[in-house]
Amino acid sequence: MKELTSEKLNGRFYTPEFIVNRIIELTGYNGQGVLKKHIIDNSCGDGAFLVAVVDIYCKEFLKHCTDTALLSEELSAYIHGIDIDKAAIGKCIENLNKTVKRYGLKCVEWDVNCSDALIGCKYYGKMDFVLGNPPYVRVHNLGSAIDNIKKFSFAKNGMTDLFIVFFEIGLKMLNENGVLGYITPSSFFNSLAGRYMRSYLVNNNLIDKIVDLKHFQVFDATTYTAITVLKNNRTKITTEYFRLEDKNNLVYEDTFKAEDFYICDNFYFSDKKRLSELKRILTFKTGKEYFFVKNGFATLDDKFFIGDFDFGEFTIPVVKASTGKRYKCIFPYKEGKLVPYSELENNSDIKKHYAGNKGKLSKRSIEKNGKWYGFGRSQGINDVYKCKYSINALIKTPSDIKLIKCDKGVGVYSGLYILTEARESELREMLCGDDFITYISLLGKYKSGGYYTFSSKELKNYLEYKYAQRKVFENGQ
Ligand SMILES: C[S@@+](CC[C@H](N)C(=O)[O-])C[C@H]1O[C@@H](n2cnc3c(N)ncnc32)[C@H](O)[C@@H]1O
């Protein structure tokens, strides 16, 4: 098993100053309005947010009063922080003391404590502002915390990430007009784990601002992030959407109603024109289906089944959809059915290839009714006998698309394939242009190096929609 770093286990990637300042700006924590307002970072780490907040508080306070004893009292009454990590709390207090020293303050009794935010607390309903960068920890790395997590409604959809629960904790901490500003993974826009939270945020009209950082990497990890600003008791029903071009450039993009960006239970962000096209594609209902998009073979041991070998019978040509390259594959099937091993053994080359590998092959998580010498899953096997097109599901530009025609008898693995009666030229026109890349980028499934991925359903939706449009156009001519 790959070793997990302590960052992964505790979700401990501290926030850079330019992000802290952006969140402070977006939540409106500024001016004299900050005075006597309760603010908390409920996973404060070494205090990236609290240090900036305290700095603002001191500046604003000292504009109208020079009583540093009173300032100390207010700082301990209105600035709050908790973190589960005792050492981080020590560092945070040290950093806060350094900050106030610049304003001539000696001792502040900080309300900054080592405690677990998952366990209900005294701050519920009291905060004017909740700011932070909650921990990102996948549920399978959560250990004993899982029992506390299950108590939260935002964890309803099973497989979750700790930051999703921190949205609920943060909202619980807000008072009736409170504002929350977090940087978190943007995965909650479309993940199953974020489904309940998305509907809660929309149904309660809480989403005030979104900054989608898209491929912009803030942390030393492959984490795609967004800044979310939530507000209780909003009078408006719209959400402002921004992009972060680079560290210094926050660009206002558009203002949306929920129905513009909340499409088929997911969140999507772009300009209004692109979003409405996306909505038309994702909600398109076709009378007759012209395209079937499926996953290629899952041998669960490509090294064994696929290679440059050719054993004659029981070997077929295959296309690796992710690269478009052609190889040979052991294919122990006839008319879609696994042949008995005794029949396979009649081929001495194949017998030699299997020899000594039974143990290794049996260890794969083979599907029910599968056998040790067959593929791990049955997907893609029946369609070997049909003509189809393989396609890679990791793209950045139109030139990355590898659409390969696979004749009857050719298998596909490591990617998707399309079954259709549409002409090859039509398929190429629909997929190898800018429209398709724009659509895929809007789905927001980011991969490193500026790439995007997509599912079989998302590809099918696109094809059915574009094909219907072509037909309407052709019939109108
Ligand atoms: C991503 S770091 C952010 C720290 C800080 N807010 C910042 O922005 O630099 C997340 C923090 O959450 C803390 N943490 C993890 N689980 C926690 C819990 N159950 N309660 C409180 N803090 C927790 C970690 O110790 C870590 O300091």
pLDDT in tens, 382-422: 999 999 999 999 999 999 999 999 999 999 999 999 999 99
The pLDDT score that the predictor gives to residue 1 is 37
Residue 116 three-state SS: coil
Q: How far apart are CA 286 and CA 31, in angstroms?
A: 54
Closest CA to 259 of 244, 236, 276: 276
Instruction: Find out whether the beta carbon of 161 lies less than 6 Å from any atom of ligand 1.
Output: no
Residue 203 has pLDDT above 50, yes or no: yes
Alpha helices per DSSP H over 316-454: 341-345, 348-354, 358-362, 424-431, 434-443
Cα(118) to centroid of ligand 1, in Å? 11
Chain segment 73-94, per-residue pLDDT in tens: 999 999 999 999 999 999 999 9
How many CB atoms lie under 10 A from the CB of residue 386? 14
Atom of ligand 1 nearest to the CA of 85: 25
Which residue's C-alpha comes closest to atom 6 of ligand 1? 44
The pLDDT score that the predictor gives to residue 158 is 72
Q: Quickly list DSSP for 338-406.
A: EPPHHHHHTSHHHHHHHTT-HHHHHTS-PPTT--TTS-SS-TTSGGGGS-EEEE-SEESSGGG---EEE
Average of per-residue pLDDT values in the chain: 93
Cα(183) to centroid of ligand 1, in Å? 12
Q: How far apart are CA 225 and CA 223, in angstroms?
A: 6
Cα(269) to centroid of ligand 1, in Å? 27
Closest CA to 167 of 211, 203, 136, 213: 136
Instruction: Find out whether the beta carbon of 48 lies less than 6 Å from any atom of ligand 1.
Output: yes
Q: What are phi and psi of 240, to 5 degrees?
A: -90, 135
Instruction: Find out whether the beta carbon of 372 lies less than 6 Å from any atom of ligand 1.
Output: no
Instruction: Find out whether the beta carbon of 165 lies less than 6 Å from any atom of ligand 1.
Output: no
Check: CB of residue 62 under 8 Å from CB of residue 28. no
Q: Ligand 1 pocket test: pick from 43, 93, 150 the residue with the most ligand atoms within 8 Å of its Cβ.
A: 43
Query: Which amino acid is present at 368?
Result: K
Q: What is the mean pLDDT of residues 233-258?
A: 94
Q: Ligand 1 pocket test: pick from 8, 84, 112, 144 the residue with the most ligand atoms within 8 Å of its Cβ.
A: 84
Residue 129 three-state SS: strand
Which helix (H) or strand (E) segment is 370 a member of? none
Residue 238 three-state SS: strand
Residue 98 three-state SS: helix
Give the predicted TM-score (pTM) of the model. 0.89
Domains of the chain and any CATH numbers: 6-271 (3.40.50.150), 291-476 (no CATH)
Residue 99 three-state SS: helix
Closest CA to 293 of 46, 145, 463, 471: 463
How many CB atoms lie under 10 A from the CB of residue 438? 13
Which residue's C-alpha comes closest to atom 17 of ligand 1? 84
Cα(147) to centroid of ligand 1, in Å? 18
Instruction: Find out whether the beta carbon of 185 lies less than 6 Å from any atom of ligand 1.
Output: no
Atom of ligand 1 nearest to the CA of 132: 6
